């Protein structure tokens, strides 16, 4: 295994070095800056990605037809992304101006906020773009490699997935390093920032930028891919009776483009957002946590999450080197190869992070390590639960498949019931993880540390992202490779192999989804806590009227210490206060309203695609006979237009809802709104993801020849379930995770505006 040995060597060079340096800094409680390690981690990840990308591009892309198809997919995907970035740019410019106004005219925000916002969006988009660029080039190469063996197909696809994983974590750490370095070493000395503790809150704004971009990417990509998918399936498969990925289907290229813009670019932006979000939320909670621990400086508490993330990157690089198998091996062997990589990375992270925390922050901080491990374990439990409920190896999905016997209605009811039942384990897991993280890290005596511990469990859960994302992101590449194999009329064994890779990807993706969902909940909790801190801070700096104080008297006390003249603010977000109850109610409804908007968006865009495909079949009779070439580009254009038009409104909800409530019902009601949205949104997201996944696999289970197989009535009912599940699992569900965090970040960024405007309103009404 020559190339694998090369990888290992490279990995060792990139890792031994920084790991050694970590332990050089053993001065407990010091203010030494470890961010240079993050620079190295970031560059290591990006170089490793570059190295793998080159190795993928060196592979043979196959025959001319395959190259042509791959090109068409590439061009469609790039055309789509260009269009998406144009729409998103308008949004970003608008928000940049708004933030600049608030910063420079009303002086309610740090002057760096507008710029941080832009860079977050930029890097998130870039992560998706690079991942997609390599994925659209790896698809034909994977198909070609699969002509040899299953193993060689996996190697190309997995390398492409690893590029995505490394780009996401590498760019995440890069953005963090750049801003940290700029703020600490340029703007702090210039006096533009008062102290180190002010840095993380500024960085939350780039989290907001990243989340905004991710929401657009997930929604836009999700709408695109599902519109194309539904259009291709409903008219091509059902009405015209031609197989999936048949070149005669005008929507087939759009369908394959959709896999890339949705499952690859969308997922990349999404996980960039999750990764960065969990780190900066925890960094922001760090400075308050450090107050309670004598041996830990603020700078250490701020940097530990990002250092852990760096260790995770290095461990992931090492882990990928162990994903290897010799020659022509079975699917099972490959699965254990993938799992070996993940487990080795996980073990490395556990050990290295223990050492890091022990040597830098000392023994008193080891509870934080425990919180991190809790996160890692919780992520795995949720992943297993996802797999259990959605894989056709287990009873729930098998039973769902048998419900197709009584038609589409029963399979729909069954799928929804399955998704709802599947929420219990993840919710209890997150509940226990939250409690363990809080109490292990010392929250019983110092709540600030406990909340920081909750953030650390999210960081821990995502610390393996470099490799788990790799095992997740290669799935769509294999899927695309299958499409190309079909369209290019390759030997059926190739399709079988790519299908096997795809199935393998589904299994590992289940774990990935578990991590994404679990970390979203924990990060959102951390952000909620940080929002509470920001309200206190905001009220310390802004003067509010007596009507404001009276109106919120049950929730808030503001006193001035007569000795020190310092304003002291105490929040007691009393759940029994009607403002809080009302916030919970409104928050609880938001995920439903958001999902409704995104599902309707898919429906409308899909309707247009159906009309277009029908039109082409009607007007060009030669298409179905194979004598005339369908107009692929018009289908891509229709999906693109539909996605752009439809993604805007639901995205705006993430901003409009907290801002409206914040201004009208005050910043405190917003806490409840966020908590309510989290309580219902987390559950709804799991339900949608798992219902969708189970329908998908129930259909595939039938297609394997069970219950009458393809073409049977059971299969038709299964297809209905799968079609309903598509927007559930690929559009609304994953977008919800982003929505929950984005709303929190928006609230954090706009908290001073809430206070100022709500105070104004109450002054006007209350005199």
Residues contacting 41, CB < 8 A, separation 6+? 18, 173, 309, 310, 311, 313, 314
State the Cα angle at 756 between 765 and 539, rounded to 5°. 110
CA nearest to 747, candidates 661, 629, 620:
661
- At its nearest, how many Å lie between a copy of itself and the CB of residue 719? 8
Rounded least distance, CB 665 to a copy of itself, Å: 8
What is the Cα–Cα distance from 453 to 526, expressed in whole angstroms? Answer: 9
CB-nearer residue toward a copy of itself: 454 or 635: 454
Q: And the tokens for 547? A: 């009507």
Residue closer to a copy of itself (CB basis): 219 or 672 = 672
CB-nearer residue toward a copy of itself: 508 or 669: 669
Q: What are phi and psi of 557, to 5 degrees?
A: -130, 135
CB of 465 to a copy of itself, least distance (A): 23
The smaller minimum CB distance to a copy of itself, of residues 53 and 677, is found at 677
Q: What angle do CA 49, 50, 53 make, to 5 degrees?
A: 85
In the bound state with a copy of itself, the residue whose beta carbon lies nearer, of 466 and 693, is: 693
Q: Phi then psi for 721, rounded to 5 degrees?
A: -60, -45
In the complex, what is the shortest distance from the CB of residue 64 to a copy of itself, in angstroms, rounded to a whole number?
A: 37
Minimum gap (Å) between residue 188 Cβ and a copy of itself: 30
Taking the CA atoms of residue 544, residue 545, residue 551 and residue 557 in that order, the dihedral angle to the nearest 10 degrees is 50
Q: In 25-112, which ranges are continuous DSSP H helix?
A: 35-57, 64-100
- In whole angstroms, the minimum distance from the beta carbon of 545 to a copy of itself comes to 15
Q: Based on CB atoms, which residue is closest to a copy of itself, 31 or 570?
A: 570
Looking at the Cβ atoms of 61 and 583, the one nearer to a copy of itself is: 583
Residue 560 dihedral angles phi and psi, to the nearest 5°: -110, 125
Which residue, 474 or 551, is less far from a copy of itself as judged by CB?
Answer: 551
Minimum CB separation of residue 412 from a copy of itself in Å reads 5
User: What CA–CA distance (Å, rounded) separates 60 from 67?
Assistant: 10
Which 3 state secondary structure label does DSSP give 117?
Answer: helix
* Helix (H) or strand (E) segment spanning residue 569: strand 567-571
- Output DSSP code: residue 697: H
Phi-psi region of 189 (alpha: psi -120 to 50; beta: other; left: phi over 0): alpha
Which of these, 656, 642, 655, 638, lies nearest to 598 by C-alpha position? 642
Q: How far is the CB of 185 from a copy of itself (least distance, A)?
A: 34
Say how far residue 394 (Cα) sits from the centre of its chain: 26
Shortest distance, CB of residue 726 to a copy of itself, whole angstroms? 9
Minimal distance in Å, beta carbon 170 to a copy of itself?
A: 33
Closer of 468 and 731 to a copy of itself (Cβ): 731
**Where does residue 460 rank: exposed (0-12), middle (13-18), buried (19+ CB within 10 A)?**
buried
- Which residue's CB is nearer to a copy of itself, number 186 or number 238? 238
To a copy of itself, the closest distance from the beta carbon of 576 in angstroms equals 5
CB of 26 closer than 8 Å to CB of 78: no
Report the nearest approach of a copy of itself to the CB of residue 487 (Å).
25
Please report, in angstroms and rounded to a whole number, the separation of the first and last CA atoms in the chain: 78
CB closer to a copy of itself out of 314 and 378: 378
Closer residue to a copy of itself (CB): 421 or 648: 421
CB of 550: closest distance to a copy of itself in angstroms? 8
Give φ, ψ of 23 to 5 degrees.
Answer: -80, -10
**What is the C-alpha separation between 236 and 684, in angstroms, rounded?**
32
Least distance CB 688 / a copy of itself (angstroms): 10
Match 């020190």 to its residue by tokens: 564
The DSSP element (H or E) to which 558 belongs, if any, is strand 556-560
> At a CB cut-off of 8 Å and minimum separation 6, what does 183 contact?
112, 193, 199, 202, 203
Using CA atoms, how far residue 552 sits from 128, 385, 673, 719, 763, in Å, is 44, 42, 16, 53, 13
Question: Which is closer to a copy of itself, CB of 610 or CB of 756?
Answer: 610
CA 213 to chain centre: 11
Task: Tell me the residue length of the chain.
Answer: 767
CA angle 286, 289, 291 (to 5 degrees): 115
Task: Give yes or no for a contact between 253 and 632, defined as CB atoms under 8 angstroms apart.
Answer: yes
CB nearer a copy of itself, residue 485 or residue 539: 539
**Closest distance of CB 704 from a copy of itself, Å:** 21
Residue closer to a copy of itself by CB (options 45, 647) is: 647
């Amino acid at each position: 295994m020559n190339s694998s040995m090369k990888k290992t060597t490279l990995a060792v060079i990139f890792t031994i070095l920084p790991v050694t340096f970590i332990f050089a800094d053993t001065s407990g409680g010091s203010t030494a800056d470890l961010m240079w390690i993050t620079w190295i981690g970031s560059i290591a990840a990006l170089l490793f990605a570059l190295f793998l990308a080159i190795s993928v591009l060196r592979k043979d892309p196959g025959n001319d037809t395959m190259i042509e198809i791959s090109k068409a997919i590439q061009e469609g995907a790039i055309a789509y992304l260009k269009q998406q970035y144009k729409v998103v740019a308008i949004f970003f410019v608008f928000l940049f101006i708004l933030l600049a106004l608030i910063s420079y005219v009303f002086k309610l925000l740090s002057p760096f906020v507008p710029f941080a916002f832009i860079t977050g969006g930029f890097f998130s988009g870039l992560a998706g773009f690079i991942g997609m660029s390599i994925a659209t080039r790896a698809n034909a190469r994977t198909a070609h490699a699969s002509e040899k063996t299953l193993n060689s197909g996996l190697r190309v696809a997995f390398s492409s997935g690893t590029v995505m994983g490394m780009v996401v974590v590498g760019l995440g750490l890069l953005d963090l390093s750049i801003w940290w370095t700029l703020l600490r070493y340029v703007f702090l000395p210039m006096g533009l920032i008062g102290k180190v503790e002010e840095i993380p809150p500024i960085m939350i704004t780039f989290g907001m930028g990243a989340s905004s971009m991710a929401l657009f990417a997930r929604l836009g990509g999700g709408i695109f891919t599902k519109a194309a998918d539904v259009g291709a399936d409903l008219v091509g498969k059902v009405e015209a009776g031609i197989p999936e990925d048949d070149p005669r289907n005008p929507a087939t290229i759009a369908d394959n483009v959709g896999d890339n813009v949705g499952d690859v670019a969308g997922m990349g932006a999404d996980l960039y957002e999750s990764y960065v979000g969990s780190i900066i939320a925890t960094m922001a909670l760090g400075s308050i946590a450090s107050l309670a621990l004598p041996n830990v400086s603020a700078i250490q508490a701020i940097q530990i999450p990002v250092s852990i993330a760096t260790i995770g990157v290095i461990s992931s690089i090492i882990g990928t080197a162990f994903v290897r198998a010799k020659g022509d091996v079975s699917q099972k062997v490959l699965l254990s190869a993938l799992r070996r990589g993940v487990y080795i990375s996980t073990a490395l992270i556990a050990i290295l992070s223990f050492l890091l925390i022990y040597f830098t922050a000392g023994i008193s901080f080891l509870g934080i390590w425990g919180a991190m491990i809790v996160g890692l374990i919780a992520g795995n439990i949720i992943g297993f639960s996802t797999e259990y409920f959605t894989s056709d190896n287990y009873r729930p999905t098998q039973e769902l498949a048998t419900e197709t016997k009584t038609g589409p209605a029963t399979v729909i009811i069954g799928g929804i019931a399955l998704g709802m039942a599947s929420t219990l384990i993840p919710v209890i897991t997150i509940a226990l993880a939250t409690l363990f993280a809080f109490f292990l890290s010392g929250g019983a005596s110092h709540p600030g540390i406990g909340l920081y511990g909750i953030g650390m469990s999210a960081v821990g859960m995502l610390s393996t992202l470099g490799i788990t994302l790799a095992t997740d992101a290669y799935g769509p590449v294999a899927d695309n490779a299958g499409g190309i194999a079909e369209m290019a009329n390759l030997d059926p064994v190739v399709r079988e192999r790519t299908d096997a890779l795809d199935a393998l990807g589904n299994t590992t993706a289940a774990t990935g989804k578990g991590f994404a969902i679990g970390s979203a909940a924990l990060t959102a909790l951390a952000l909620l806590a940080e929002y509470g801190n920001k309200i206190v801070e905001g009220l310390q700096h802004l003067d509010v009227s007596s009507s404001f104080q009276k109106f919120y008297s049950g929730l808030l006390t503001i006193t001035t210490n007569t000795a020190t003249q310092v304003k002291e603010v105490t929040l007691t977000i009393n759940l029994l206060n009607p403002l809080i109850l009302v916030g919970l109610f409104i928050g609880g409804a938001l995920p439903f309203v958001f999902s409704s908007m995104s599902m309707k968006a898919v429906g409308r865009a899909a309707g247009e695609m159906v009309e277009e495909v029908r039109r082409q079949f009607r007007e060009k009779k030669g298409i179905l006979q194979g004598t005339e070439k369908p107009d692929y580009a018009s289908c891509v254009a229709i999906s693109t237009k539909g996605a752009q038009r439809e993604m805007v409104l639901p995205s705006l909800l993430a901003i409009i809802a907290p801002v409206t409530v914040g201004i009208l019902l005050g910043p405190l009601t917003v806490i409840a709104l966020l908590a309510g949205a989290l309580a219902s949104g987390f559950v709804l997201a799991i339900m949608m993801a798992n219902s969708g996944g189970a329908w998908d696999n129930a259909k595939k289970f039938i297609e394997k020849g069970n219950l009458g197989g393809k073409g049977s009535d059971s299969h038709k009912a299964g297809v209905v379930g799968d079609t309903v599940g598509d927007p559930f699992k690929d559009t609304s569900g994953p977008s919800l995770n982003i929505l929950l965090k984005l709303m929190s970040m928006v609230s954090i960024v706009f908290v001073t505006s809430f206070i100022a405007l709500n105070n104004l309103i109450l002054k006007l009404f209350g005199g």
